[in-house]
Structure formats: structure tokens, C-alpha cells
């Protein structure tokens, strides 16, 4: 539905522009109301535009790594941009320019979420994002970053839909779900996935997309879902999947 609405909006915009004889570039037409980059970014740059780029390529840090969202375009960011470019068949030079931005615009929606995930599915607990272990604003921002990692994971798994069963939880929601004290669900970083692809396919591929907390089949209480989240220290355990 999100993609259909975008296509309809683009059609209307292009139609109206044609009337006045203006040609719209792909970048302008697809930028939506989210964020637009105004310069090419490469190593050595810093600023809010770098931060926004890092959020969108955070799912491409490499095996076992997690990309720092710090607004500084260093070697790790360049490598993540290059992997993003390779994943989508772009010229892979690690420099973010119009081609890279156009692909990001095509992937993002008006609220800055990636095309295949929504805030609603990342928060089935309450509408305010409150009651967790961080502020509501931080929890929502963490969920946005997690969704962009999910988008990368989804693409790597052949663009097959990923079904979330749980995301952000308040303390009350976490207790009701039997979640662990100090769970990453309380911060908005964690996601539980069900359905297909298989849990083992999910947890094995998640190791390449910025998820340093991965629990799955064989770990107590995780035979019926895959749990993935970001955190500073690595913890991977899915014995039935060889992890």
C-alpha cells in the first residue's frame, strides 16, 4: 500500500509538472517529505547529512560489525555505502552521490521509514513510545534505525517479506510478554520475526546487517521466533542453526 500511494503521488506530481513544462528529476520526485541530500558525501565529511546517510546504510556494516551513527564519514561508513551500492547494482565507489541518493529515495517513505516496514509494526505496545528504558523520542529513533537494518536484511534474503511479531515494549508490555529484564525491546532496538524465511536463514544472514544480538532456535524460549537487535557487545546464540 505504501508503494502504491507513492506511485500514485509521483504520477500526479509528474502530470502537474508537465502542464507547466517543467521536467522533474528522479531525485526530486522521489524525495517525498522526508530528507533530501544537497551534496556528495565522502570520507572526511561530517554533519547531519552524514548522520542521515549512516542511518540508511546501517544495514551494510559487514559481518559482525555495527556502524556508528556519529555524523562522521570515515572508512566504516565508506565501506557500508559501498556494500549498499553493490547490493543494488550501483557503481560501488563508497561515495554517496545522486545515484546512491536516488536509490535511497526510492526505498524510503514520507516518514523516513523504509518502504517495507512501518512504525506501527515496530510498536504494538502503545502509540506514545513511552514507558521503556529510554525516552520516547530515543525509542522511536532506535526503531527507525532498526527498520533500515531490516530493509537490508530483507533485500539480502531475496526481498522476501519479513513478519515482525514484536518491537518496542514498555516495561508493562515487556513483563506481560515474559521478556527479560533489561531487554533491548525496552529501547526500541529489538525485533522478533516469525513466519518465513526460516528462522535459521534469518539469524544467519542477520550477522551481516548490524545485528549484534541474535537469538534463535536452540536458545531457550526462541524456537518459535528469531530475535535480532543492535547493541555494543556481540551475543549470538541459535544452536540449532549452528550459531
Q: Which residues are catalytic?
A: 222
Query: What is the C-alpha separation between 63 and 80, in angstroms, rounded?
Result: 11
The 191-194 sheet, strands edge to edge: 163-166, 191-194, 226-229, 213-215, 235-237
What cell numbers appear for 55 in the block?
Answer: 542511518
Q: What are phi and psi of 216, to 5 degrees?
A: -155, -160
Alpha carbon distance 151, 154 (integer Å): 5
Strands 213-215 and 226-229: antiparallel
Which residues pair with residue 166 across a beta bridge? 192
Amino acid at each position: 500500500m505504501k508503494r502504491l500511494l507513492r506511485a500514485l503521488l509521483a504520477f500526479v506530481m509528474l502530470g502537474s509538472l508537465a502542464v507547466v513544462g517543467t521536467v522533474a528529476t528522479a531525485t526530486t520526485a522521489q524525495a517525498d517529505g522526508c530528507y533530501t541530500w544537497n551534496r556528495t558525501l565522502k570520507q572526511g565529511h561530517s554533519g547531519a547529512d552524514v548522520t542521515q546517510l549512516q542511518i540508511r546504510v546501517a544495514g551494510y556494516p559487514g559481518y559482525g560489525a555495527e556502524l556508528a551513527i556519529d555524523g562522521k564519514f570515515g572508512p566504516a561508513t565508506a565501506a557500508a555505502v559501498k556494500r549498499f551500492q553493490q547490493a543494488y547494482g550501483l557503481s560501488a565507489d563508497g561515495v554517496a552521490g545522486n545515484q546512491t541518493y536516488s536509490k535511497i529515495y526510492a526505498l524510503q517513505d514520507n516518514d523516513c521509514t523504509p518502504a517495507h516496514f512501518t512504525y506501527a509494526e515496530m510498536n504494538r505496545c502503545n502509540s506514545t513510545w513511552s514507558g521503556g528504558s529510554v525516552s520516547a523520542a530515543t525509542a522511536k529513533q532506535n526503531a527507525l534505525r532498526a527498520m533500515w537494518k531490516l530493509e537490508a536484511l530483507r533485500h539480502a534474503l531475496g526481498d522476501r517479506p519479513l513478519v515482525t511479531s514484536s518491537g518496542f515494549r514498555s516495561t508493562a508490555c515487556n513483563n506481560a510478554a515474559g521478556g527479560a529484564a533489561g531487554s533491548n525491546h525496552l529501547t526500541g532496538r529489538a525485533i522478533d520475526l516469525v513466519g518465513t524465511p526460516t528462522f535459521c536463514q534469518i539469524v544467519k544472514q542477520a550477522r551481516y546487517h548490524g545485528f549484534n544480538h541474535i537469538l534463535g532456535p536452540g536458545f531457550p524460549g526462541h524456537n518459535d521466533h528469531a530475535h535480532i537487535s543492535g547493541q555494543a557487545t556481540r551475543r549470538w546464540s541459535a544452536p540449532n542453526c549452528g550459531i
